[in-house]
Amino acid sequence: MSRDLPLRKSLLVRLMVTSVLVAVCSVAATAWLAVQTTTRAIQEEQGQVLADDTEILRELSGYAATHADWSDVGRTLHTLSVRTGRRIALTTTERVPVADSASRPTPLPPRASAVVDPLRTDTYSEPGAQLSGIDPRAVGPFRLTSKERARVHALALVRQKCFRRAGFETTVKTLPSGRSVLTGEEAASGDGYVSSECTDGKLNTPMPAEHRALAVLTDLTQACLARTEAHPPQVFLSVGFSVKGVEPDYIRGGKTRTGHPTAADASTDNCVIDSRRQQLDPYVAPVADLFLGNGTLPRFDMSSGNKAKVVGVTGLVLVLTVTVTAVVATRLVRPLRALTHAAQQPPEQHVRVPVTTRDETGILAEAFNALTERRERLEAQRKALVHDVAHELRTPLTNIRGWLEVTRDGVVDPDPELLASLHEEALVLQRVIDDLQDLAAADAGTLRLHHEPVRADDLLAQVAAAHRVAADSGGVHLVTTVDGCPWLDADPVRMRQAVGNLVSNAIRHTPADGTITLSARADGDRVVIEVADTGTGIAAQDLPYVFDRFWRAEKSRSRRTGGSGLGLPIVRQLAAAHGGTVTAASEKGVGSVFTLVLPGMAAPEDG
């Protein structure tokens, strides 16, 4: 039939076409999403790199503004490098190395990323920007002593309380020089309702250290004007304090500056700035070139927006996949459902299924029908075989006994033909002999056990798999539950035999729709394995004898249905050989629970 199957009807071809469609959609969606998320990630990474560069420059400019040299910058450099994941190096303007976060000799980038010069670049006043001017953190001789700081801070607190009484809230801020100022003071003073007590000028009065620094700055400025102007006027410098820091101002020739700066004002401004740089130069670190490397590769951290895109596209692809698959699968599964329904029918009905297609499912339906016919024939053969085996098991001992008796009485001679007949009868009893051999070995202490680490869940799974068919054929539900992952030090073959005997016994005594539960749990240094069923149960007076050899609760059961009567004794012997115990608990009409308690062990390191 396969030679006549059209290619377009092939199940393989249809599945391949469906897979190709889903794959094309998935690849297209993935490509689009990758472009979108990668572009966004690159933009975010570029912004982060720029922010890191600005932060590094700001930190190092602050260090230069507060230190006279670079001798102790190594720790600050290493901290910044670890925090940003960048290589950071400082050199003099002549490329002499000052400090480097990378191990030497690592070559520097071809060009410097920035110049660290707190006397010409302000990275403090406006975070994220580089302003031309002096960094407010470069205070030099304007730095207050500890006593002066305490005095100014006390004055700031007095003024803050005064403003608070007037209904205005201000905040005390400490400048790099150590001077305390109030933020929000300008708005409060401009309201017109603040008492003159709050603006008495005491807070902004320069301290002795500031007076000395201002005098030096005045002399330097006057000298600068003398060099740039033929007849320089007298210049009087003053210093103001705001949240931006120290702000020198001046009066030139007895005139204050107006709103329209003149050329003279510009000349004076330049001299003031140059004089400040000259005054601060001994207190700041020398100008240095800053080199920034890539360092370690940045860790990609998907943003919330990209995560939402991924979820959205994934959902779209999933919906498309489910829709296409559902349409195709419905057509493919319909004949398979008919096969499943037929397979679920009782075996004795030997149900056939109609063949409606000429594809792989049609071939499968024909094969199923052929299998049903063969099964029907095999079932007839099985019934005959069961009848024959039952007959053979009922009669072997009777035949052996009868021939031995007539031979003993001298009625017949023990010729080879008679002995061969007795041998054949003896083979029927071989299974019972095998069970007895295991018991004898256990009793004699010669039962060989090959101990190794055994996982309880694997043991129960293997036993359940081995008895699944028997349970299903009897309509019995076989389930396993394991608490944690207990380990046994046991012979896995003998343990499967012991637990398997308990399961076999439970299956024989559990009616259809009953349940057999295999469970395992750790109890201290022991492992408890239970086989519980919802079967007929055992009467209380019979419970003490369940582990006796050849004992049966129902004396009417034959060996075909009731076993040899040696399964439970073997379980007890195997448990004892492993240093454990087995007990039974039962209630008539409710069910039974057989409990194995065995030595446990710690999980192996490679387990």
Confidence of residue 292 (pLDDT cuts 50, 70, 90): confident
Confidence of residue 153 (pLDDT cuts 50, 70, 90): very high
Q: Name residue 250's beta-bridge partners.
A: 237
Tokens of 405: 């008796």
Helices (H) and strands (E) in the chain, counts: 16, 17
CA distances to 74, 101, 271, 291, 294 from 88, in Å: 10, 5, 35, 6, 9
Q: So what's the pLDDT on residue 516?
A: 94
Tokens of 558: 């034959």
Tokens of 49: 């790199």
- DSSP class of residue 2 equals G
Query: pLDDT digits over 94-151, tens only?
Result: 888 888 888 877 788 888 888 999 888 888 878 777 788 888 888 889 899 999 999 9
Q: So what's the pLDDT on residue 401?
A: 76
Of residues 356 and 162, more confidently modeled: 162
Nearest-5° angle of CA 199, CA 205, CA 207? Answer: 150
Query: pLDDT digits over 364-393, tens only?
Result: 888 888 888 887 776 764 564 344 334 444
Percent of the chain with pLDDT over 90: 15
Residue in this structure with the two tokens 């800053």, named with its chain if needed = 290
Of residues 251 and 578, more confidently modeled: 578
Q: For the chain, give the mean pLDDT.
A: 79
My answer on whether omega of the bond before 354 falls inside 30° of 0, hence cis, is: no
Query: If you average pLDDT over residues 18-38, what whole number do you get?
Result: 72
Q: Is the pLDDT of residue 297 over 60?
A: no
Q: Is the pLDDT of residue 1 over 50?
A: no
Residue in this structure with the two tokens 């931006």, named with its chain if needed = 244
Of residues 603 and 246, more confidently modeled: 603
Query: pLDDT digits over 534-569, tens only?
Result: 988 888 888 888 887 666 665 544 443 445 566 788
Q: Is the pLDDT of residue 182 over 80?
A: yes
Q: Which fold has domain 446-601?
A: Heat Shock Protein 90 (3.30.565)
User: What are the backbone dihedrals phi and psi of residue 99, each rounded to the nearest 5 degrees, phi first?
Assistant: -160, 150
Q: So what's the pLDDT on residue 584?
A: 92
Confidence of residue 169 (pLDDT cuts 50, 70, 90): confident
Longest dimension (CA), the chain: 163
Q: Is the pLDDT of residue 4 over 70?
A: no
Q: Is the pLDDT of residue 521 over 70?
A: yes
Percent of the chain with pLDDT over 70: 77
> By C-alpha distance, which of 197, 179, 198 is closest to 187?
198
Least confident segment among 55-64, 105-114, 253-262: 253-262
> By C-alpha distance, which of 560, 594, 566, 599 is closest to 440?
566
Tokens of 45: 């990474």
> By C-alpha distance, which of 106, 105, 101, 64 is closest to 85?
101
Query: If you average pLDDT over residues 171-192, what whole number do you get?
Result: 75
Rounded to whole angstroms, the Cα distance separating 10 from 5 reads 7
Of residues 62 and 240, more confidently modeled: 62
Residue in this structure with the two tokens 């380990």, named with its chain if needed = 487
Ranges in the chain annotated CATH 3.30.565.10:
446-601
